[in-house]
């Protein structure tokens, strides 16, 4: 079996969905499992719904309406008959969502978030499945929540591999074209969970692992894994072959093309991962597989914008030692800051981190009781793998360098824009 993942950008409108159909015609669709994300920016739009719901905002109705309108337009563009069953099916999903919002009593933001945001994937897969049937491409729609079991860490759920393996082996039929949702799972009580933003790649890896798949292909709007994000760098180069190790490093430092959790399960079973263009499906793209000699010699540039640089120093000039550091890390972990760089000197300790869940101000209040806390918001973290003499210069132009750290293969630079 092959696992294909199509992300939001590939199904952002009717043309995109028709293109997915065309891709399958070209590359084959027997014994394939499709993992599909919410359409376009639907996840962001549903995040607004959740926020409006908790803010008791008068805008709630219209933010729900916007999501409906967007999908209805796609339906009208895809299906000629107005009474095609898909209209009722999608309508029913929206009704369920609205009913949840009316009846919910839970004050737990992350719980509500997962129950609501998950509708994006349920709707997208319903539409794609109906559309393929409409075009004569028979397929099996699978509710991923019945297969991928997780704990109840809403918005960042941890997979229960044992249960998931059992469910997938038992329920996914080989030889078919199967369609399921990325990003979602369910907890012990069958409440919906999500695996973290952009988690659909990870879903593809979970299925590939459990099915001993032949390969995973992530279909993107770029030709493959590039050595730099073309949104921020000119002259990005396609990397034809990279090792799991290199891909894990790139993803860890923030290359957004592959979700970081995706690679480990694939590497464990040596399942190759292809990253290919859904616009040119027959081009080879990038192959991520085993083999140390696949490391690219080209410098790879990764940027993370909107980071925090936090420096802690002791109030009394005492050293910052292991016990302080372990306490600091316990707090960083508790407040779910994603740390990307660490630097310390005798009396100060700095981290560059992502405040993914908006917890920094609460954390700062706690840290301030023990340390002098200084920080810069909105800094950029550049990571250059396989850097050369010229590499640093390309990222520090017109910027102030706040931290620079160099190891054998990797250079990291924290910058802020010059005023």
Task: Sheet containing 2-6: give its strands across.
Answer: 140-142, 177-181, 32-36, 2-6, 215-220, 273-277, 286-289, 241-243
Out of ligand ASP, Mg ion, none, what residue 350 binds, judged by CB under 5 to 8 A for its kind, is none
Our CB check for ligand ASP shows the closer of 121 and 385 to be 121
Q: Is 7 in the site for Mg ion (CB under 5 A)?
A: yes
Our CB check for Mg ion shows the closer of 121 and 249 to be 121
Q: What are the DSSP E strand ranges found in 17-175?
A: 32-36, 140-142
Size of the site for Mg ion (CB under 5 A): 3
CA nearest to 213, candidates 243, 181, 174, 251? 174
Q: At closest approach, how far in Å is the CB of 155 from ligand ASP?
A: 10
Our CB check for ligand ASP shows the closer of 30 and 221 to be 221
Furthest C-alpha separation in the chain: 75
Our CB check for Mg ion shows the closer of 70 and 329 to be 70
Q: At closest approach, how far in Å is the CB of 217 from ligand ASP?
A: 15
Provide the CB-side half-sphere exposure for 362 (13 A, CA): 10
CA 384/CA 382 separation, integer angstroms: 7
Provide the token pair at 339.
């740390």
Which of 4-12, 129-137, 251-259, 331-339 is the region at the interface with Mg ion (rule: CB under 5 A)? 4-12
CA 73/CA 51 separation, integer angstroms: 24
Out of ligand ASP, Mg ion, none, what residue 199 binds, judged by CB under 5 to 8 A for its kind, is ligand ASP
Q: At closest approach, how far in Å is the CB of 39 from ligand ASP?
A: 9
CA nearest to 118, candidates 140, 87, 135, 143? 143
Out of Mg ion, ligand ASP, none, what residue 197 binds, judged by CB under 5 to 8 A for its kind, is ligand ASP
Q: At closest approach, how far in Å is the CB of 5 from ligand ASP?
A: 8
Q: At closest approach, how far in Å is the CB of 124 from ligand ASP?
A: 8
Our CB check for Mg ion shows the closer of 198 and 355 to be 198
Provide the CB-side half-sphere exposure for 55 (13 A, CA): 12
Q: Is 18 helix (H, G, I), strand (E, B) or coil?
A: helix
CA 159/CA 298 separation, integer angstroms: 35
Distance of CA 88 to the CA centre of its chain: 30
Q: At closest approach, how far in Å is the CB of 49 from ligand ASP?
A: 14
Q: At closest approach, how far in Å is the CB of 390 from ligand ASP?
A: 34
Our CB check for Mg ion shows the closer of 47 and 98 to be 47
Provide the CB-side half-sphere exposure for 147 (13 A, CA): 24
Q: Is 203 in the site for Mg ion (CB under 5 A)?
A: no
Our CB check for ligand ASP shows the closer of 1 and 46 to be 46
Q: What are the DSSP E strand ranges found in 264-337?
A: 273-277, 286-289, 300-314
Instruction: Kindly list the residues in this chain that would bind ligand ASP in the complex (CB under 6 A).
Output: 7-8, 37-38, 43, 120, 182-183, 197-200
CA 364/CA 360 separation, integer angstroms: 6
Binding to Mg ion (CB under 5 A) within 16-45 occurs at 37
Q: Is 327 annotated as a binding residue?
A: no
Q: Is 311 in the site for Mg ion (CB under 5 A)?
A: no
CA 164/CA 25 separation, integer angstroms: 30
Out of ligand ASP, Mg ion, none, what residue 182 binds, judged by CB under 5 to 8 A for its kind, is ligand ASP
Q: Is 8 in the site for Mg ion (CB under 5 A)?
A: yes
Q: How far apart are the first and last CA of the chain?
A: 54
Q: Is 197 annotated as a binding residue?
A: no
Binding residue numbers for substrate: 121
Binding residue numbers: 121, 231
Residues that bind Mg ion (CB under 5 A): 7-8, 37
């Amino acid at each position: 079996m092959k696992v294909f993942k199509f992300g939001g950008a590939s199904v952002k409108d009717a043309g995109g969905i028709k293109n997915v159909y065309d891709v399958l015609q070209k590359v084959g669709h027997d014994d394939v499992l499709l993992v599909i994300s919410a359409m376009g920016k639907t996840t962001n739009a549903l995040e607004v719904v959740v926020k409006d719901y908790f803010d008791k905002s008068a805008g709630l109705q219209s933010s729900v309406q916007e999501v409906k309108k967007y999908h209805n337009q796609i339906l009208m563009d895809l299906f000629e008959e107005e009474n095609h069953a898909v209209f009722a099916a999608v309508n029913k999903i929206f009704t369920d969502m609205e009913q949840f919002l009316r009846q919910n009593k839970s004050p737990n933001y992350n719980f509500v978030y997962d129950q609501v945001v998950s509708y994006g994937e349920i709707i997208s897969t319903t539409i794609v499945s109906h559309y393929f049937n409409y075009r004569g491409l028979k397929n099996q729609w699978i509710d991923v929540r019945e297969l991928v079991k997780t704990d109840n860490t809403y918005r960042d759920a941890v997979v229960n591999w044992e249960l998931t393996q059992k469910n997938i082996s038992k329920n996914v039929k080989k030889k078919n074209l199967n369609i399921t949702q990325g990003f979602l799972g369910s907890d012990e009580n069958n409440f919906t969970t999500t695996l973290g933003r952009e988690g659909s790649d990870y879903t593809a890896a979970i299925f590939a692992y459990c099915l001993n798949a032949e390969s995973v292909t992530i279909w993107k709007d770029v030709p493959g894994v590039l050595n730099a994000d073309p949104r921020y760098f000119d002259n990005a180069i396609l990397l034809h072959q990279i090792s799991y190790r290199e891909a894990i490093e790139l993803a860890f430092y923030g290359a957004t093309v592959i979700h970081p959790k995706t690679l480990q399960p694939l590497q464990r079973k040596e399942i190759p991962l292809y990253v290919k263009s859904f616009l040119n499906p027959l081009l080879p793209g990038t192959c991520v597989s085993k083999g140390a000699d696949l490391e690219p010699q080209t410098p790879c540039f990764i940027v993370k914008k909107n980071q925090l640089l936090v420096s802690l120093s002791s109030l009394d000039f005492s050293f910052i030692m292991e016990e302080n550091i372990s306490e600091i890390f316990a707090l960083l972990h508790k407040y779910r800051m994603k740390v990307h760089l660490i630097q310390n000197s005798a009396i100060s300790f700095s981290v560059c981190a992502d405040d993914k869940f908006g917890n920094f101000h609460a954390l700062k209040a706690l840290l301030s009781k023990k340390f002098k806390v200084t920080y810069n918001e909105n800094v950029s973290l550049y990571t250059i793998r396989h850097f050369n003499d010229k590499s640093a210069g390309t990222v520090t132009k017109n910027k102030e360098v706040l931290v620079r750290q160099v190891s054998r293969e990797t250079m990291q630079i924290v910058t802020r824009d010059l005023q």
